């Protein structure tokens, strides 16, 4: 099997933050993080796009990521805003923080960089081990679109266009190839910078709706809510997102 993953270039601080300037998911996560009072853990916190504003809104939040460059950027951004933010480098499959949290969340499709069922089950088990009684687990992933992936396989389409701090414009074209055996959308992003093109990969595991529901069930989570948008529209076939609010199932009395 081909190696799966994401190019390090996509995590470069000058690229990542310019590609991801949106905040349409912030209010959703802020609302649900307040739903269960207590400490919060964000897995795959990246450069603090959500962690920093959630902290400044008064929430007790810690961020965890496996990328040194992302965490370094998050620390610089937090310091520039005068935010005292606890950030930890660790793998979400294996971290052990020796404490529990009222809310744990994985935003921005980050769970889709977990490619095997075995690794996904390690993440779920670790989340359960770090949740306080009555705690909630939140995450969002795409609702896979076969039509979209087929269209992007036939020809390149523009995916992004943005400017760096120095004014250079970057145009990103995308081509996809869906690997049915691994259920991975193998996207290639073509970056044109100063008329020079470079190829970068973005492999994303596709979780089909009933599949994810079953994975949660058989790993001990109950689905409290499932939405199709961050405005909490009901999930349906045409939804672009699958947004979950989950809770560990209490062990039955023997």
Q: Model confidence at 140, in pLDDT bands (50, 70, 90)?
A: very high
Question: How far apart are alpha carbons 171 and 197 in whole angstroms?
Answer: 9
For residues 169 and 236, membership in a common domain is answered with no
Angle, alpha carbons 180-182-188 (nearest 5°): 80
> Percentage of the chain surpassing pLDDT 90?
83
Q: Which residue has the higher pLDDT, 164 or 100?
A: 100
Question: How many domains are contained in the chain?
Answer: 2
Whether residue 1 is contained in a domain is answered as: no
For residues 198 and 212, membership in a common domain is answered with no
Q: What is the pLDDT of residue 1?
A: 52
User: Do the Cβ atoms of 62 and 95 come closer than 8 Å?
Assistant: no
Which has the closest alpha carbon to 105: 132, 59, 139, 128?
139
Whether residue 253 is contained in a domain is answered as: no
Q: At a CB cut-off of 8 Å and minimum separation 6, what does 244 contact?
A: 137, 138, 139, 140, 212, 216, 223, 225, 226
Q: What is the pLDDT of residue 152?
A: 86
Residue 166 has φ and ψ, to the nearest 5°, of -85, 5
- Model confidence pLDDT, tens digit, residues 42-92: 999 999 999 999 999 999 999 999 999 999 999 999 999 999 999 999 999
For residues 151 and 228, membership in a common domain is answered with no
Q: pTM for this structure?
A: 0.95
Q: What is the pLDDT of residue 128?
A: 98
For residues 182 and 66, membership in a common domain is answered with no
Q: What is the pLDDT averaged over residues 89-106?
A: 98
Question: How far apart are alpha carbons 232 and 133 in whole angstroms?
Answer: 25
pLDDT at residue 254 greater than cutoff 70: no
Whether residue 6 is contained in a domain is answered as: no
For residues 223 and 123, membership in a common domain is answered with yes
Q: What is the pLDDT averaged over residues 8-22?
A: 87
For residues 109 and 222, membership in a common domain is answered with yes
Question: How far apart are alpha carbons 180 and 223 in whole angstroms?
Answer: 27
pLDDT at residue 121 greater than cutoff 60: yes
The tokens describing 195, both together, are 């008329």
For residue 237, what are the CA distances in angstroms to 172, 176, 217, 218, 240?
28, 22, 21, 23, 9
> Percentage of the chain surpassing pLDDT 70?
98
Q: What is the pLDDT of residue 135?
A: 97
Q: What is the DSSP string of 15-74?
A: HHHHH----TTHHHHHHHHTTS-S-EEEES-TTTTTHHHHHHTT--EEEEES-HHHHHHH
User: Do the Cβ atoms of 100 and 130 come closer than 8 Å?
Assistant: yes
For residues 132 and 230, membership in a common domain is answered with yes
The tokens describing 214, both together, are 């079953």
Question: How far apart are alpha carbons 76 and 79 in whole angstroms?
Answer: 5
Q: Please report which helix (H) or strand (E) contains residue 214, including its range.
A: helix 209-218
User: Do the Cβ atoms of 247 and 135 come closer than 8 Å?
Assistant: yes
pLDDT at residue 16 greater than cutoff 60: yes
Q: What is the pLDDT of residue 63?
A: 98
Whether residue 82 is contained in a domain is answered as: yes
Q: Which residue has the higher pLDDT, 238 or 149?
A: 238
For residues 187 and 71, membership in a common domain is answered with no
Angle, alpha carbons 160-165-168 (nearest 5°): 60
Whether residue 3 is contained in a domain is answered as: no
- Model confidence pLDDT, tens digit, residues 192-217: 988 889 999 999 999 999 999 999 99
For residues 112 and 136, membership in a common domain is answered with yes
Whether residue 16 is contained in a domain is answered as: yes
Q: Model confidence at 154, in pLDDT bands (50, 70, 90)?
A: confident
Mean pLDDT of the chain: 94
For residues 98 and 17, membership in a common domain is answered with yes
Q: At a CB cut-off of 8 Å and minimum separation 6, what does 186 contact?
A: 2, 4, 176, 177, 178, 179, 201, 203
pLDDT at residue 245 greater than cutoff 70: yes
In terms of residue numbers, what domain contains 187?
Answer: 146-205
Q: What is the pLDDT of residue 155?
A: 86
For residues 83 and 183, membership in a common domain is answered with no
Q: What is the pLDDT of residue 253?
A: 58
Q: Please report which helix (H) or strand (E) contains residue 80, including its range.
A: helix 68-80
For residues 61 and 184, membership in a common domain is answered with no
Lowest mean pLDDT among 37-41, 90-94, 158-162: 158-162
Q: How many CB atoms lie within 10 A of CB 148?
A: 15
């Amino acid at each position: 099997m081909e190696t799966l993953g994401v190019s390090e270039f996509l995590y470069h601080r000058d690229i990542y933050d310019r590609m991801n300037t949106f905040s349409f998911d912030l209010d959703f996560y802020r609302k649900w993080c307040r739903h269960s009072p207590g400490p919060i853990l964000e897995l795959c916190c990246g450069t603090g796009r959500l962690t920093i504003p959630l902290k400044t809104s008064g929430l007790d939040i810690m961020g965890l990521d496996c990328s040194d460059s992302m965490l370094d950027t998050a620390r610089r951004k937090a310091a520039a805003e005068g935010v005292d933010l606890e950030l930890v480098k660790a793998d979400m499959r294996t971290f052990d923080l020796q404490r529990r949290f009222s809310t744990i969340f994985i935003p921005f499709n980050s769970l889709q960089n977990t490619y095997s069922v075995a690794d996904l089950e390690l993440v779920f088990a670790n989340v359960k081990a770090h949740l306080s009684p009555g705690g909630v687990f939140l995450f969002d992933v795409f609702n896979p679109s076969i039509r979209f992936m087929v269209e992007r396989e036939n020809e390149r389409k523009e995916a992004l266009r943005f400017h760096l701090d120095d004014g250079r414009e970057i145009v990103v074209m995308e081509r996809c190839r869906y690997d049915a055996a691994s259920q991975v959308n193998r996207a290639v992003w073509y970056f044109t910078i100063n008329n020079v093109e470079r190829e970068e990969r973005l492999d994303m595991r596709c979780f089909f709706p009933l599949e994810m529901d079953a994975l949660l069930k058989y790993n001990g989570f109950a689905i409290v809510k499932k939405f199709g948008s961050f405005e909490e529209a009901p999930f349906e076939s045409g939804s672009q997102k699958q947004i979950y609010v989950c809770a560990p199932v209490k062990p039955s009395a023997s």
